[in-house]
Amino acid sequence: MSSTEARIVIDLDLPGPTISRHLYGHFAEHLGRCIYGGFWVGEDSPLPNVNGIRSDVVEALKTLRIPNLRWPGGCFADDYHWRDGIGPRAERPRMVNSHWGDVVEDNSFGTHEFMALCELLGADPYISGNVGSGTVREMSEWIEYLTRGDDSPMASLRRENGRDEPWKVPFWGLGNEAWGCGGGMRGNAFADLARQYATYVREHGGNKVYRIAAGANADDYTWTESLMKSLGEIKKCSNPPYQAISFHYYTMSGDWADKGDATSFTDEEYYTTLAQAYRVEEMLTRHSTVMDQRDPLRRIGLVLDEWGTWWNVEEGTNPGFLYQQNTMRDALVASLHFDSFHRHADRLVMANIAQTVNVLQAMVLTDPDSGALVLTPTYHVFEMNTGHHDAASLTTHVLDAEHREDLPLLSASASTTGDTALISLSNLDAGQARSVVLDLRGRSLQGHSARILTAGALNDHNSPEHPDTVRPQAYDGVRPHARGLVVDLPAHSYLTVSLQLGS
């Protein structure tokens, strides 16, 4: 281990804002093999399934306590007309998925299938409504179809299609990337449109709706300002037309023309990637600051409903399907994001990684030939962090940590629930191990345990042939110290320390 010893001060008796479980949300778009060949295999598939939904994918995600699932897009959402995806599957019209691969799909996975998937997962549905090519009436009728329980026209239509009871739909997106694929709009114009559409996303039968206006591309703070201005000054008694604003941010080592390779990269490209991931901290801070000007009480939420790594597709795959491998580097991108999310839990109410299965920084990869299911390194970071769900955040003061330019090489966050606490630690140094003192204050320590996720090489990943190359293990490199604990962190590693606390 390195002689360099950093220190992290944590006041265990000073809980802060709650870390919403919805910061660990997911995203499933009609893109590549995320829906078709990922979640949806059809009822005639030889793979075990529940009414066409692949069983082992569901079971893997239930382990993550997946809190919500965003669907049907993404860019696809603003081409999607929900009535095409209801009724007998054999009678549903086909459509062209012009954004992703220019393929024709048969709409066999639609509203009823998605809601059944959410029920199997135990996840809240987050539906992204069509503002780009749809109509106000279309969106209004969709939420009526989903959530109304009497004999209204849309509730009656739902019953004709086999569902008697209405569903609960707590989250509703007003468009997607309205500045780009969702309509090529300008901020002020979309702000008025978002208010209009939000007015018609009505609450039926006691179903409370949290409306999320499509927000900025990365660091476009002007877009956020336009949406906030349209709401006026938010006071305690305000009833704004939408309750949150989103933004999107992707991480890569190159640019949009050449994003970098998922598994073949240099140490320099590794550090560039993590530095880009760390930029999310600045964006969360600055979007929040813009919102604070009109909403100092933070009644309007901030949502990062697309984030993650975006690499060049794997060789031999459809460029429009966005299939990529997932290495130890991706796992550390995820851990770095979560530490930022925890620090901004007073404003950030939801985040959705892109995407859940077979697309971009996926949790799960499925092999189209063998049918094998692979859990990615990123999956394991999500699983190791489940203890942070709905826990009270704890401020972590990281002292004496080394930096590589603007990138701190040690990242940490912590939370507490009752008599337990969970500390997440990432050593981002590609080659250097280090020791970290956990300076624990305010409550006594009764016991501890630790798990670690690391790999022999930065580009190590899991495959059908080698599914456990990168997986978490119990770790004994945590020892008592006069200030609390000392942790030996190997190079490029992610670790969680669970604490049992006294008074």
Burial of 45 (0-12, 13-18, 19+ CB in 10 A): middle
Question: Is 383 an annotated catalytic residue?
Answer: no
Which residue among 105, 144, 177, 383 is the active-site one? 177
Question: Is 141 an annotated catalytic residue?
Answer: no
Amino acid at 23: L
Cα–Cα distance, 46 to 52 (Å, whole number): 10
Q: Which residue has the tokens 């669970």?
A: 498
Using DSSP, state whether 160 is helix, strand or coil.
Answer: helix
Which residue among 105, 113, 144, 306 is the active-site one? 306
Strands 484-489 and 478-481: antiparallel
Instruction: With both helix axes pointing from N to C terminus, report the angle between 267-292 and 221-231 in degrees, rounded to the nearest 10.
Output: 20
Cα–Cα distance, 30 to 487 (Å, whole number): 43
Cα–Cα distance, 166 to 148 (Å, whole number): 6
Q: How far is CA 220 from CA 23, 73, 79, in A?
A: 21, 21, 24
Using DSSP, state whether 249 is helix, strand or coil.
Answer: strand
User: Nearest 5°: CA angle at 434, between 430 and 437?
Assistant: 140
Amino acid at 438: L
Instruction: Using the Cα atoms of residue 16, residue 341, residue 71 and residue 73 in order, give the sign of their dihedral.
Output: positive
Cα–Cα distance, 344 to 250 (Å, whole number): 18
Tokens describing residue 405: 């330019």
Cα–Cα distance, 325 to 432 (Å, whole number): 25
Cα–Cα distance, 166 to 149 (Å, whole number): 5
Per the CB < 8 A criterion, the answer to whether 496 and 425 are in contact is yes
List the catalytic residues: 177, 306
